[in-house]
Amino acid sequence: MKRRKILLVHPGHTTSYWGFQYSLPLFGKKAMHPPLGLITAAALLPRDWELRLVDMNIEPLSDEQILWSDMVFTGGMTSQADSLFALLDRCAALGRPTVVGGPLGSGQPERLAGKPTYAVLDEAEITLPRFLADLERGDPQPIYRSAEKPAVTDSPLPRFDLLKLNAYGVMDVQFSRGCPFNCEFCDIIALYGRVPRAKTTAQTLAELQALYDLGYRGPLFLVDDNFIGNKKAVRALLEALVPWAEEREHPFYLITEASLNLAEDGPLLDAMRRAGFKRVFLGIETPSLEGLKETQKLQNTRRDMVEAVHDILDHGIEVTAGFIVGFDSDGPDIFERQIAFIREAAIPWAMSGVLAAPPSTQLWARLEKEGRLLGFHVGDQFGRTNFVTRMDPDVLMHGYRSILATVYAPATYFDRVLAMIARLDGAGHPNLHRKLASPLRVALVTAVAVVVQGILSDYRRDWWRFLYRLVTRHRSRYLAGLMNSIVGHHFIRFTRDVLADDRTRRERLLASGPETTRSAA
């Protein structure tokens, strides 16, 4: 095959709660996550091709870099759409062909129409080799698609060596794809299926070892759609991961995403803690039983969800969670109910959003049938959604913003951090990551927090009150509390941005006339 020069470009993300843009610089980082999909695709390319990677979230992209290449490979998610489309236009103007993959194009191929030279969509283990074979023959097609779900045991070791490891808040590894559940709003099951496909234990440990050998130490996110979707495979992994981590003195803080039924499996939680898991994200969505049934999230209806969260905390694992408002069954009381749930469950990182209907989901199909769709959702969770809601849209958006304003008020955020730390402290599990919590690191984190939050911020009084309670009541969890405090700086700042932007939007709407968004009776 002809030797080529390939430029891999990761488009920029918009600022978001999950982007942590206000906190990352305080840790000396530039972006939260590396482009795992792009470096996995890179590993499928011929080994003699020359590859360079530019992540626009950590550094600018120059015309000279584009012109160096024979071809530009890129892709992304909805939050990267604007940056991605601008990149494609720029490459076209410079005369460089582009190859686009990733979830945005795979889930919404209509949005790519006429933009890239080649669209290599769906799962790269299937479609990328087909594109490469056609390229070698001189007959590449404009679009490649496949409904086939490959065994992820065929997925190559990602090209971690292309990354600037120290620029990221976490490193990412994927163990499995797919989720066995059937949530109406979720596009994961459309993209990756309901039969979780797991890598082998040896394969996953090889990826961890590769990062270890490159010198990486710190947070590591297993970015599975549902880590416990295939419990048999997970148990086998953990059985090997525990001694692997112990032999290396726990070099990684492990983080993942899982369904709430994780709380029902105490032995699995114990194994995760012993392997080094420190945090898990849960899709709780709503405290409303009617809302859970409506969206087919029946796995969350089997037991009291606050107790489930507390069970996970009692096993020494922090909980973060996602929440949604705007279900058809939601009444005007849902906003206070969600605020109360987040407080009672002691979840500091509580990401609340307005329900949207992604293409290819069951929700999209139902709303289309009901004549309620308003077009594509552009990824801004703080504006109007993309369908006609049952609730009055003004009531919905006002209530949603009341959740943000309350949950991320400094005092209430710090109270939740302390409540979570109290449960972790009470569980009495040992700190397995002492090597990552050196005295120098503790001193640096303390200095950053004192300057940014204790001196410069306008919420410093709330912060000093938090610090006093942390030191006097939970000294053994001091670093965990302080890290959550600094992350909270992002949530507090970004919430203020969102609420200020909302006021500006409303002023513009009042100046331009009545709103066009309506509710369904």
pLDDT tens digits, 284-302: 999 999 999 999 999 999 9
Q: Which CATH topology does 170-422 take?
A: TIM Barrel (3.20.20)
What's the confidence (pLDDT) of residue 514?
39
pLDDT tens digits, 338-388: 999 999 999 999 999 999 999 989 999 999 999 999 987 655 556 679 999
Q: What is the mean pLDDT of residues 301-305?
A: 97
H/E stretch holding 394 reads helix 393-407
> What would the DSSP string read from start to end of 260-306?
GGGGG-HHHHHHHHHHTEEEEEEEEE-S-HHHHHHTT-GGGSSS-HH
φ/ψ of residue 362, rounded to 5: -65, -35
Greater pLDDT, 503 or 164? 164
pLDDT tens digits, 430-458: 889 988 899 999 999 999 999 999 999 99
Going by C-alpha positions, the residue among 104, 65, 97 that lies closest to residue 83 is 104
Going by C-alpha positions, the residue among 61, 68, 66, 8 that lies closest to residue 39 is 8
pLDDT tens digits, 88-125: 999 999 999 999 999 999 999 999 999 999 999 999 99
Neighbours of 157 (CB within 10 A): 13
Q: Where are the domains of the chain?
A: 5-144, 170-422
Please report the sign of the dihedral spanned by the C-alpha atoms of residue 431, residue 19, residue 415, residue 306: negative
For residue 514, the Cα-to-chain-centroid distance in whole angstroms is 35
H/E stretch holding 424 reads helix 410-427
Distance CA 320, CA 325 (A): 17
Share of the chain above pLDDT 90, in %: 91
Question: Which conformational region is residue 277 in: left (phi greater than 0), alpha (psi within -120 to 50 degrees), or beta?
Answer: beta
Please report the sign of the dihedral spanned by the C-alpha atoms of residue 325, residue 326, residue 328, residue 330: positive
Reduce the DSSP state of residue 159 to 3 states and report it: coil
Distance CA 163, CA 38 (A): 11
Going by C-alpha positions, the residue among 280, 281, 264, 348 that lies closest to residue 321 is 281
Neighbours of 170 (CB within 10 A): 20
pLDDT tens digits, 13-27: 999 999 999 999 999
What's the confidence (pLDDT) of residue 381?
59
State the chain's mean pLDDT as an integer.
95
Assigned CATH class of 5-144: alpha beta
What's the confidence (pLDDT) of residue 515?
39
